[in-house]
Structure 1
Amino acid sequence: MITYEYPFNERIRTLLRLEDLFDKAAYYLQAEGHLEHHVVLLTLFEILEVSRADLKMDLIQELERQRQTLLAFRNNPDISEEALSGALYEIEQASAALLAMTGKIGQHLRDNEWLMSIKSRAAIPGGVCEFDLPSYHFWQHHPAEQRRAALMGWLKPLLPLRDGLTIVLRLLRSSGRPKAQVAPSGGFQLMLGGSNAQMVRVTLRDGDPAIPEISANKYALNIRFTCPDGDLKPRACDREVAFDMTFCNL
């Protein structure tokens, strides 16, 4: 199955973007090559740009709200005490790590003049060539383990954000139940009547050549399916498309 997620507000949109960036950084950090490690550094700069000033407090408040919700299930015979205790412990650990973060998000990166010189050049197409940044070219020739240790040192202070948003998004995704839907002639519309949903997930069979283009707010949802041709140029689907749809809300 392949799932497309569409956030209904800027808060969830930011969390999804950061999740994608942290996943990318973790993936390329394991590689040995200097080109992959260059991607990690660029991804760090993107995390810096995407992280809002109020993100930390927003995550702390949401985790506390979820903790209070879970506490209400204490002594419920239908709920596994072991699983509940594990979930509460995870939330408490993530909250404590976020509270321990001091200063502005990513300030340790902003205070590093060498990194900021790379960041400013990276905004220019082809701006990090060896003749532009010879010191960065020198760093890229360090042993892979030495580069990885430096990258991990710059990434580590941001990991409480990753751990907090991972919990929040996992709870969000698990909050809904998928329902089978059909889009006749490739189009689907649903009136939501002021729904509190924060995200919709659209799931299709992997290999079904249909791509959902979603627009939505709390009052209406519109999905238009396109079918890519040989060069992936989208064209409107003129056939029935079956899919699962899940509304998610914390």
Structure 2
Amino acid sequence: MLQTVYYEQPLNERVRALLRLEFLFQQVNHAMRGNSAWDSRMALQGLFDILALTGRNEFKGDLLKELDRHASTLSRLRQTPGVDGPTLDGVLGKIEEVVNRIHGSDNQLQEAVRQTDFLSAAHKRSHVPGGSCQFDVPALYHWLQSSHCVRAEHLRGWLTPFGPMQDAVTLILQLIRESAEPRPEIAIHGFFQRGLDSGAPHQLIRVSVLVGRSCFPEISAGRHRFTIHFLDQPDPNSRAVRSVADIPFELACCAI
């Protein structure tokens, strides 16, 4: 079976933040499966970035508003002919469950993680190139000498207060991605452009291409249209140039 890879372009700041958070949670979860001190360093760096992205007081409220918006949109589908009622009820149940978890999350626990002296010291030095080596942050170096089990336990403890947030990010992006079916398209001489209905709640552009191609899509989007340029770069040491070939791909304009 041919494998495909997805390239995504967010169409508003909220989805942009969600995609970045999804990436960071994936980075941390992947790093925590490793046993080495380098894996723990990667997990910590992801945690620092999560703390930075979620530091706004209104971020929790933004997630709840987005979940409520999706619940309202989906609830209106109940009277639509042909809609699978049990499946719709299941999705609405998941949304309600995640909303309850967000409401039940303890902001004080999240703030306690932010105020941990060890994390604060390591985070400050992480902004300096090479600033987290052993002589810069001896406390970090000491912690990295601990066993994998000890480091993993600490990391899980720091991440646990952000679990409901991760669940919300995952569910919202799943609903957005599943709101549109991919359709086959062709970029003539590596170029494709299409208009967007400004009255529709477009959230995300998704482009899928076959794995192994030497080209990749560069997507730019505005309020009324989006453009895709396919660029050839078989060697990263060479500058990417616009493809002159007709490129088949699949496109999904996600709106919900």
What is the deviation of 1:48? 1.1
Match of 2:19 among 16, 26, 32: 16
Hey, what's the Cα distance between the residues in 2 that align with 1:153 and 1:249?
36
**Number of positions where the alignment pairs a residue of Structure 1 with one of Structure 2:** 250
**Kept in 1: contact 2:113–2:158 (CA 8 A):** yes
What is the letter of the counterpart of residue 203 of structure 1?
S
Residues 1:202 and 2:207 aligned together: yes
Aligned residue for 1:194, secondary structure, equals coil
Q: CA deviation at 1:63?
A: 1.6
Where do 5+ consecutive residues of structure 2 fail to align?
A: none
- Change in Cα spacing, 1:232 to 1:179, as seen in structure 2 (3 Å) is farther
The secondary structure found in structure 1 opposite 2:214 is coil
Structure 2 residue identity aligned to 1:11? R
- Once structures 1 and 2 are overlaid, which stretch shifts more, 103-112 or 55-64? 103-112
Amino acid at match of 1:14: A
Report the Cα distance in structure 1 between the residues aligned to 2:109 and 2:198, rounded to whole angstroms. 34
Preserved contact between residue 106 and residue 161 of structure 2 (Cα < 8 Å): no
With the length of structure 1 as denominator, give the TM-score of the two structures: 0.92
Task: Could you tell me which runs of 5 or more consecutive residues in structure 1 were left unpaired when the two chains were aligned.
Answer: none
CA distance in 2, matches of 1:139, 1:54: 33
The question of whether the paired residues in 2 share the 8 Å contact of 1:139 and 1:147 is answered with: yes
**Aligned twin of 2:39:** 36
Give the deviation of 1:120 after TM superposition.
Answer: 0.3
Q: Which residue of 2 aligns with 1:121?
A: 125
Q: Say if 1:195 and 1:219, in contact at 8 Å, map to a contact too.
A: no
Following superposition, the deviation at residue 199 of structure 1 comes to: 0.9
The aligned residue for residue 180 of structure 1 is 184
Alignment partner for residue 217 of structure 1, among 217, 222, 228? Answer: 222
SS in 1 for 2:107: coil
Q: TM-score, normalised by structure 2?
A: 0.90
Alignment map for 1:141-160 (pairs within 5 Å):
141-160=145-164
SS of the residue 1:177 aligns to:
coil
| Gap change, CA 1:126 and 1:240, over 3 Å in 2 | same
1:159 maps to a residue whose letter is G
Output the CA distance in 1 between the equivalents of 2:243 and 2:75: 47
- Considering only aligned residues, what root-mean-square deviation do their CA atoms show, in Å? 2.1
Measure the CA separation in 2 of the matches of 1:105 and 1:220.
Answer: 43
Aligned position for 2:99? 95
1:17, distance to aligned residue in structure 2 (A): 0.3
Which position in structure 2 is the counterpart of 1:48? 51
Correspondent of 2:5 among 2, 13, 16: 2
Whether 1:247 aligns to 2:250 is no
Tell me the amino acid that sits aligned with residue 132 of structure 1: D
Q: Does 1:61 align with 2:61?
A: no
| 1:104 CA displacement | 7.1
Separation (CA, whole Å) in 2 of partners of 1:219 and 1:175: 19
